[in-house]
Amino acid sequence: MNPLQSPAEYEAFVYTMQQHYSCVRRSTLTVIRHGATAATLTGELDIDDYRFTVRETLSFAAEQGHIVSYGYEVWRGNEKQYWYDSQPHPDDAALAATAPHHKHVPPDIKHNRVPAPHLSFAKPNLPALIEEVERLRAE
């Protein structure tokens, strides 16, 4: 079931993250409600020496909730590894297939963008991001 069904279900999903993903050492994720139909998610997740910073804007105004915008940064120690954001880049044809979902990667992390087909506005992105870091840890 998609936890974006309601603010309460999304809160339950976020606040039980460590129970579902044993690799998550620490979570400071907080869902902040803004009335009955809007919320933000902010905070960090730690997985070994990787740290996520998370920012999501959420809407529950329709029957199915959704992510309005997001930004996810992945750090290893004090070095930013990559980040995802939902800022549209209509002038970049390489991103059209997954627009606006994309990932900023080295070497020129600000300008080097690749499609992010595993991200969505319709379902939580955190599971895919956690699995990505788990794969990095295994390398």
The per-residue pLDDT for 136 is: 84
- pLDDT tens, 52-105? 999 999 999 988 899 999 999 999 999 999 999 999 998 889 899 999 999 999
- Residues 7 and 19: their CA atoms lie apart, in Å, by 19
Q: Look up residue 66 and give its two tokens.
A: 């959704």
The per-residue pLDDT for 138 is: 79
Look at residue 17 and tell me whether its pLDDT is greater than 80. yes
Domain count for the chain, please give it. 1
pLDDT above 70: percentage of residues in the chain: 100
- Determine the structural domain holding residue 99 and report its residue range: 3-138
The per-residue pLDDT for 139 is: 77
Look at residue 112 and tell me whether its pLDDT is greater than 80. yes
Eight-class DSSP state of 93: G
